Amino acid sequence: MNRALFTRCPVLFEDADLLIIHKPEGVLSHPNSGKQNPSCAFEGPYDLGERRFQTPRGPVWLIHRLDQDTSGVLLAAKNKKSAGACRGSFEKGEVKKNYIALVSRRPMPSHGKWRDALMERRAGGGLRVAIDPSGRPNAFLNYKLKEYFQKFNLSLLEIELLTGKTHQIRVQSACRGHPVAGDRVYGNFALNKELREALGLRRLFLHAWRLAFPHPLTGKPFAVEAPLPEELEDCLLKASSI
């Protein structure tokens, strides 16, 4: 099978039901409606209502999405039945989503739970997300500290994302004074410049490294991991050596 006909991205796993890729930073999960778009994760026309790509080798159903600036595991299904089963697993909370993020500046506990009410708004022609202090929490995550880089006051976090709101990790981190390194929307722009010059970090340091869910055919636990991209590994190595 010529996998390049399905996707421009590295394939992490493929069988008769699933197509799981490693989406790079800068690639859209799906096209933005009515806009000129850069490359997308899968090839072919996209049906927004069905969340389905019509690739040269047949339909591919997109199960979830990652922000354009986030890299990592992206799940798609190769038939409608499997798509329904996978989407059902997301709706029932049976999917475990783990991220790696490098965040900055203030000391923080070694582990914690963040619960917030996120709201979306349009500003300057783009989408922005903010926290509504009076709203009912709809965004949930747990984190634990993996490593601390004292020179730059940076914390490497492993995050378990319990919900999947737009820009969720980036907004919840930034509102607590821990913007994600390299974030050009919600981040600390002076810090981004400092890290670009000192560590060569030129992208958002947010990576979806693991996705675990019941396989749609067997129902058995199934997990796929995407290694940290080389440019993020290099950044950590430089931070450790300075």
Enumerate the active-site residues.
Answer: 67
Asked if 57 and 5 count as a contact pair (C-beta separation under 8 A), the reply is yes
| Residue 105 buriedness (CB in 10 A; 0-12 / 13-18 / 19+) | middle
- Report the run of H or E that residue 154 belongs to, with start and end: strand 154-161
Alpha-carbon gap, residue 132 to 138, rounded angstroms:
10
Q: Which residues contact 122 (CB under 8 A, 6 or more apart)?
A: 128
